Amino acid sequence: MFKYTTLFSFALLCGIPLVLAQSKTTLLFPGGDSEISISADFLSTDSQGRTAWAIQIDDFPATATLIEGPGFISLGFQDAEISNTLNQACGITSDVAVCTATVNGEVMTSSLNVATLTVDVGKAPPTGTSIALTTITGSPSRTDSSPTDTSSTFVSTPISGTSTVAAPASSSSNAAIGCTPSSFMIFISALLFAL
């Protein structure tokens, strides 16, 4: 009886946290709100180092596509139920995104603060995939000199330089209680041996 109780306790401490672990990453959003819950599924990384994510925002009916790369963010969605579309491309400098957006066919240009949001990752990039991180340096180029006029046309300046980071692994361990994937395998072996 004792060995089954011990194995059951070990399963609760090591096995369940491994199953419940979820990857997280940080993404940049022009005009983003840190109070909303966002999940992301990795789609692809292109030859320019831009990473595409399928984004689902709580209480938002459509799935958006977010593309991030060095000095660049693009966000787009189409909601067939209410016939809304958004396509937005932004050059990023400092903590400001200078964006040109097409909303239901109407073109708008604006400056938005860039928010760094931590999101839950459903489908993570394959292990070993490098993901380009957006570097935020420099300043936007403008076609006029008015610092407060946000309706002016902006020309985004490409930002040089990239950073890469290894993709989050799809599994994790719970070091707080000393359980690792290998200790979980030991648990499985002990369970089979006990039977």
Query: For residue 59, is it within any domain?
Result: yes
pLDDT band of residue 116 (cuts 50, 70, 90) is: confident
Report the b/e string of 148-157 with b at 16+ CB within 10 A. Answer: eeeeeebebe
Query: For residue 110, is it within any domain?
Result: yes
Query: For residue 152, is it within any domain?
Result: no
CB atoms within 10 A of CB 194: 10
Query: For residue 180, is it within any domain?
Result: no
Q: What is the pLDDT of residues 151-179, one digit of tens each?
A: 322 232 233 333 333 333 333 333 333 33
Query: For residue 34, is it within any domain?
Result: yes
Query: For residue 130, is it within any domain?
Result: no
86 lies in which domain range? 22-124
- Cβ pair 67, 88 in contact under 8 A: no
Q: Which residues make beta-bridge pairs with 115?
A: 29
**More confident of the two residues 158 and 29:** 29
Query: For residue 154, is it within any domain?
Result: no
Scan for tokens 């040109």, then name that residue.
100
Query: For residue 89, is it within any domain?
Result: yes
**More confident of the two residues 93 and 141:** 93
- Cβ pair 141, 153 in contact under 8 A: no
Q: pTM of the full predicted structure? A: 0.54
What domain count does the chain have? 1
